[in-house]
């Protein structure tokens, strides 16, 4: 799985939970909250969808790792690998 793959999966989740957001130009290095209107309730949903769709557990203390697309892929790729192993 590449960074792009992981980021695409995260963007798919965001598109599902926040269909009113324009995701065409999300910069991977910038915090999601600085470019999109997402709050803590939305981040809870990102975490819940990761679990539902991919069996990935993100404990609450790790939520900061989901701040930007870059940090998401860095944090999630090992997790994707271990659940698919």
Partner 1 sequence: MSGLAAGIRLALFGHKVLILERHNAPGGLNSFYSFDGRKFDVGLHAVTNYVEKGVKGTPLGKLFRQLRIRREDFGLCPQMGSRVSFPGIDLRFTNDVAVLQSEIEREFPRQIDNFRQLVREIETHDPFRLDDIETSARETVARFITDPLLLDMLFCPLMYYGSAREMDMDFGQFAIMFKSIYLEGFARPFDGVRRIIRVLLARYRDLGGERKMKCGVRKIHTSNGRAHELLLDDGQTITADHVLSSIGRVETERLCDDLPPESGKANIGRLSFIETINIFDRQPAELGWEDTIIFFNDHERFIYARPEDLVDPRSGVICFPNNYQYGSGQTLAEGVFRVTCMADFDGWSALHETEYRAAKKIWHEKLAHKAMEFLKPVPPKTLDDCTIYRDMFTPRTIKKYTGHLGGAVYGASEKVKNGHTHLQNLYLCGTDQGFLGIIGAMLSGISMANYHILRKT
Q: Which residues bind partner 1 (CB under 8 A)?
A: 16-18, 20, 37, 39, 41-42, 44-45, 48, 51-52, 60
Min dist CB 59 to partner 1, Å, is 11
C-beta closer to partner 1: residue 2 or 22 = 22
Min dist CB 12 to partner 1, Å, is 14
DSSP the chain: --HHHHHHHHHHHHHHH-TTS--TT--TTSBHHHHS---HHHHHHHHHHHHHHH-----GGGGGGGSBHHHHHHHHHHHHHHHH-
C-beta closer to partner 1: residue 20 or 29 = 20
C-beta closer to partner 1: residue 63 or 70 = 63
């Amino acid at each position: 799985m590449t960074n792009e793959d992981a980021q695409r999966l995260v963007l798919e989740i965001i598109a599902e939970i926040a269909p009113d957001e324009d995701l065409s130009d999300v910069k991977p290095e910038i915090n999601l909250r600085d470019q999109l209107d997402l709050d803590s309730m939305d981040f809870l949903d990102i975490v819940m969808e990761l679990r539902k769709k991919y069996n990935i557990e993100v404990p609450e203390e790790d939520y900061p790792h989901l701040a930007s697309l870059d940090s998401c892929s860095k944090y999630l790729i090992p997790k994707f690998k271990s659940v698919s192993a």
